[in-house]
Amino acid sequence: MIRTVTLAATLLAPTVAPGQPPPIPRPASWSAPVDGIALGLVVAPTRLQEASDPDRDHDAAPRFHVHIKNASRRKRRIVVPVLHADLSCLITRHGTKTRFEPTFYPPPMPRPGDRPRAYTVAPGDSMHYATMDSISGFREAGRPRGRWYRALPAGSYTVRVAGTVGGVKGRLTSRPASLKVLRADQPVDGLRLAVQADRIRTRVRPDGRDIVPITLRLTFHNVGKRALGLDLHALARRSLRLEVSGPSTSQVDAGAASQAAPKSADRPTLAPGRRLAARSSLSFPGDFGGLVYQINRPGWYQLRLSYEQRQRSRCGANDCWTGRVHANLLWLQVLPAR
């Protein structure tokens, strides 16, 4: 059952003038009519990358385009609100009972003189009614204290939108639309990176300045068909990058650090199908790429680690791997200080 929640939606006119952006795609299917009006849903884009940042990439967050169709035999008057639409969205993960609801950034203030817009829809015609965008994240539906996600976890999802439409008596529910989120640890040129933590919970230190560190362990996996040369010398400082999101994060410069001369074991060649665990574990918070994160507030934090190698001269093999590969996401729960 989809709960009635009034959400801030960006409401767009159904017409597109020449020279304007391309029109919004029309729904492939429509719901059963209610009071002679059917509801349609278009999800765009339909494929996302896990942990992609909507603040940097416009296509990193889904947009839910809601359409209505006049399925009756008479003209219908549809009213589009100025700011709010009584629409709710429910996202269900395939094969599980896990459900998510999007959360939204505050909407812009209406301009003076803005009023609800009325449209006349002829029998059989359709129009774009609203777009639910400006998504700030996702929360677990039905769990007031459940985890909040900046982006949806990897998996396949079914999306439904329900609510009321101005000028229509009754509540409409769209047919399901599909959304797929690809894993963050997709291999790059045959190399996959995995990270494990010794625990998923820690605490703020008694002095409140930081958290009790956790230990991370890396594993490199060659899923390609050729050998890959790696450079693991001073791994955390030279080749690893870490992105952390959560209630409170800040970065400080790690300062200068002395580095021992590289050894032959620091530049291994990974045969196809083989795995290699990094010789030394890593500490978080710690030095990653010359920066150290500081966390001092309880809550859930998302860690995204990546390995980058741009210079072929940094590994001794002729088949030196170059590029940037992301590891799987890690979720860390930080508890209050005792």
Could you give the percent of the chain with pLDDT greater than 70? Answer: 86
**What is the Cα–Cα distance from 113 to 110, expressed in whole angstroms?**
8
State whether residue 179 is helix, strand or coil. Answer: strand
Residue 251: CA atoms inside 13 Å, Cβ hemisphere, count? 13
List 110's β-bridge partners, or say none.
none
Which domains does the chain show, CATH number per domain?
7-182 (no CATH), 191-335 (2.60.40.10)
pLDDT digits (tens, 9 = 90+) for 7-47: 334 433 344 444 555 567 889 999 999 999 999 999 988 98
Q: What letter does residue 320 receive in the DSSP assignment?
A: B
Q: Are 122 and 75 within 8 A, CB to CB?
A: yes
User: Which pLDDT score is estimated for 185?
Assistant: 83
**Single-letter amino acid, residue 109:** M
The per-residue pLDDT for 42 is 94
Tell whether the model's pLDDT for residue 5 goes beyond 70. Answer: no
- Rounded to an integer, what distance in angstroms lies between the CA atom of residue 309 and that of residue 307? 7
**How far apart (Å, rounded) are the C-alpha atoms in residues 149 and 50?**
11
User: C-alpha 323: how far from its chain's center?
Assistant: 22
pLDDT digits (tens, 9 = 90+) for 125-182: 999 998 888 888 888 888 877 778 888 888 999 999 999 998 899 999 999 999 999 8
Q: HSE of 157 in the Cβ direction (CA atoms, 13 Å)? A: 25
